[in-house]
Amino acid sequence: MMAEQVNRWKFVYAALVMQLCLGVLYSWSVFRGPLEATNGWDKATSIAPYRYSVLFFTVSMIIAGFWQDKKGPRLVGSVGGVLMGIGVLLSAFFWQNATALKFTYGILGGLGVGFAYVTPIATCVKWFPDKRGTIVGLAVLGFGAGSLIFAPLIQKLLGTDPAMWATTIPRTFMILSVIFFICVIGAAQVYAVPPAGWKPEGWTPPAAATTAGGAAIKAEFAPGEMIKTWQFYALWVIYFLGTSVGITAIGQAAPLVKELAAATAFMSGATALGIMSAFNGVGRLAWGATSDKIGRKNTTIAMFALYIVACIFLLRNVTSFNQALAGLCVVGFCYGGYLAMMPSFTADFYGAKNVGANYGIVFTAWGICGFVVPGYFGKIMTAAKEAGNLAGGYNQVYGTLAGMCVLGIILVVILRRPEHT
């Protein structure tokens, strides 16, 4: 028992390695400038592979969740590493073809990220029932912090000489594919599920919850049972609203900080984005640990409240680089919390047995948000830029997001655990 108690931390270390690699998803913006300059693409074309990767990441999460609950995380995580490595490797040969890049990086790469992403989360939830928020936060910290490593690495590999990009773009894809083949597949070999009846030494499971009438509340929900509860839809909307602010800010951050950094020469835009990424990663651990102490609901309300402060007072009427950086760091810090909290929220409400499949379904909120919301707010900012009124565009975007956060708080307040018996 004690060996198992100590050994369970190896799953967290493997999760960190894998998630750091998967976090390359957030580094796509580094490729966009060289691809646009070399291929003559517009911004809509250069963002397309990223949008497809987010969409297929989400789709594969559902499939992978069901599969890993039946076959275990090792196989599913390995398949994710293979798909991710092949997708990025093929991108090295088809980087000049916009349609092909949607398939290689967007579809294959996105599928690979989704298959791999769910496995460490489900594994850690099952091995750490005593500290779900903290451990899931630590496990997914790597996904948020991944761009802190990969964005500078990709930027270094690409270089700053446009004449060299035709050589450095494919070479960068090849190097990344080798990293993913080794690290993602290698980390997956560590994963395993705890034996039936296992529990951490010294930990006593909480007493079974009961209804007001004394009947035991159902502890484990199959996916089909979960989607019949209104709490599932409330969680889904809360996740959608919470990630809308973070995803929008990430999408708008690059042009905003680049412009303001150039004006102040305080630091480069890439450095500022790296700082935001660090806050994203730290937020996953900090909010996850906080939720273990004060509860998931109180923690979620606090994250929405901080979002509102950032949107209204820092980003809606941004006038300086420091103000923008502060706002983006607050948003990144809170955004990371949602990705750490929601797996634990799902397990708390619907049990750990089917958490892979159940969270895969809940996670569609993030994917649909990533596919729809940036495009919607991007159109607002494009219109504002064409009208010469960027300030008005930021005001509208972040004012709307603040209103969405108020709705999120209301939903969290009325949310309660399903009482099916």
pLDDT score of 414? 96
- For the chain, list the domains and their CATH numbers: 2-188 (1.20.1250.20), 223-414 (1.20.1250.20)
Calculate the alpha carbon distances from 266 to 229, 269, 316, 323, 326 in Å.
Answer: 51, 9, 22, 13, 14
% of the chain at pLDDT higher than 70: 90
Instruction: Give the largest CA-CA distance in the chain.
Output: 74
Rounded to two decimals, the pTM is 0.81
Alpha-helical regions (H) of 295-414: 296-309, 321-350, 355-362, 364-386, 390-414
- All residues at 6 or more sequence positions from 321 whose CB lies less than 8 Å from its CB, including other chains: 257, 260, 261, 263, 264, 266, 272
According to DSSP, residue 367 is labeled H
Angle in degrees, 0-180, between the axes of helices 230-264 and 355-362, rounded to the nearest 10: 60
Helices (H), 128-229: 132-158, 165-188, 223-226
Cα distances (angstroms) measured from residue 344 to each of 214, 257, 318, 340, 383: 26, 33, 35, 7, 40
HEC per residue, 273-311: HHHHHHHHHHHHHHHHHHHHHHCHHHHHHHHHHHHHHHH
Query: Residue 207 — very low, low, confident or very high, per pLDDT cuts 50/70/90?
Result: low
Give the tens place of pLDDT for each residue, 142-186.
Answer: 887 787 788 889 989 999 899 999 999 999 999 999 999 999 999
**pLDDT class of 266 with cuts at 50, 70, 90:** low
CB 21 within 8 A of CB 183: yes
d(CA 57, CA 60) in angstroms, rounded, equals 5
In degrees, rounded to 5, the angle at the alpha carbon of residue 40 between the alpha carbons of residues 35 and 46 is 45
Q: Looking up tokens 């955004």, which residue turns up?
A: 335
pLDDT of residue 130: 86
